[in-house]
Amino acid sequence: MELRQLRYFVTVVEEANFTRAAARLHLAQPGVSAQIRQLEKELGHPLLDRSGRSVTPTEVGEAVLPYARAALGAAEAVRRTADEFTGLLRGQVTLGLVAGAGAAAQAFDLPALLAGFHRDHPRVEISLAEDSSERMLAALHRGGLDIAVIGLSEEEPPPGVSLQVLVDAPVVAAVAADDPVLTPPDRTTVPLAELRERALISLPRGTGLRGVLDRACARAGFPPRIAFEAAAPPFLAQLAARGLGIAVLPGLPGEADTAHGLRTLEIVEPRLRARVALAWRSSGPSGPAATALLDLLRKRLAAPETDWSGASGSVGVDGR
């Protein structure tokens, strides 16, 4: 029995799928399957039920699972204790970035922060993936991600997740210069109801900004007419500049490119906010490497008044 076999087994249980588990482990799926079958052969019992759409632990697998997790935790503690004597930090950190948050990431220079962390801790492997906010929140809960930069769609933070807001901007409508919504020409706002019959250009479902738009339209009594979807706000702005609709964007510098002849009007009645936040499990990251990276990001990225983490006397989003 090897620790890697136990790690593969635990990961497959957490992901309920061999392909997702292999991707999380950065391995080929057949190799993961082969190692788990070898473990099952050694133990003399099947540990996983592969007959359904999702992979689930068998009765024996359920009984073995806590011991497998304990063994992996003990091995990590041994490694961590030894590293403390040499000042080394090692391990793996999985970081998620919401689709469409590229401009926000550039604003606080996430690549430079990651490069500096890698320079200081070369033995830590950092994995970066882009996905929707909804899927990344689910991955945080099940342990597939350690840290994520997500868009917030709800007024209240999700349970079990701590947040530190990085960007809080108004939601704007980016329109071509000859669009009739610009009458009178000096207007700076547009009521949401005025967009009811207009073709809208938006971020995809699962992103925070799209959630804000969908929820606001539902409360106003109409579904938004989404003509085009794309993950990159600059591309949305380009579509709007071609007269293909009104782009709904965060009101950040550079999001609606005035070089394309666009103007932005803040959406009001109600006023909507586009928020991007650093997110992690309220119980804390899975290991010292993730904890160290989270500490760095929290110190370098956001102001104290936007910290909803539950640390240092503030109130955690899970009520703690």
* 3-class DSSP state of 18: helix
Tokens 């610009």 belong to 182
Q: Indicate the pTM of the whole model.
A: 0.64
> Of 287, 289, 288, nearest to 124 (Cα)?
289
- Least confident window among 84-98, 192-206, 297-311: 297-311
What residues does 202 pair with on adjacent strands?
229
pLDDT digits (tens, 9 = 90+) for 8-64: 999 999 999 999 999 988 899 999 999 999 999 999 999 999 998 899 999 999 999
Q: Note whether 95 and 145 are within 8 A (CB).
A: yes
pLDDT in tens, 230-240: 888 888 889 99
- How do residues 131-182 score in pLDDT, each as one tens digit? 888 888 888 888 889 999 988 887 676 788 898 888 888 999 999 888 888 8
Query: How far, in Å, CA of 187 to CA of 268, rounded?
Result: 12
Q: Please name the fold of domain 3-86.
A: Arc Repressor Mutant, subunit A (1.10.10)
pLDDT value, residue 81: 73
Contact criterion met (CB below 8 Å) for 203 and 229 = yes
What percent of the chain stands above pLDDT 70?
Answer: 85
The third-level CATH classification (topology) of the domain covering 167-274 is D-Maltodextrin-Binding Protein; domain 2 (3.40.190)
pLDDT at 312: 29
Whether 167-274 and 3-86 are alike in CATH topology: the answer is: no
Q: What is the 3-state secondary structure (H, E, C) of 68-132?
A: HHHHHHHHHHHHHHHHHHHCCCCEEEEEEEECCCHHHHHHCCHHHHHHHHHHHCCCEEEEEEEEC
Neighbours of 50 (CB within 10 A): 13
Average pLDDT along the chain:
83
CATH top-level class for 91-166+280-308?
Answer: alpha beta
Amino acid code (one letter) for 275: R
Q: How confident is the model at residue 67 (pLDDT cuts 50, 70, 90)?
A: very high
On the question of a cis peptide bond just before residue 270, with omega within 30 degrees of 0, the verdict is yes
Give residue limits of the domains in the chain. Answer: 3-86, 91-166+280-308, 167-274
More confident residue, 299 or 254: 299
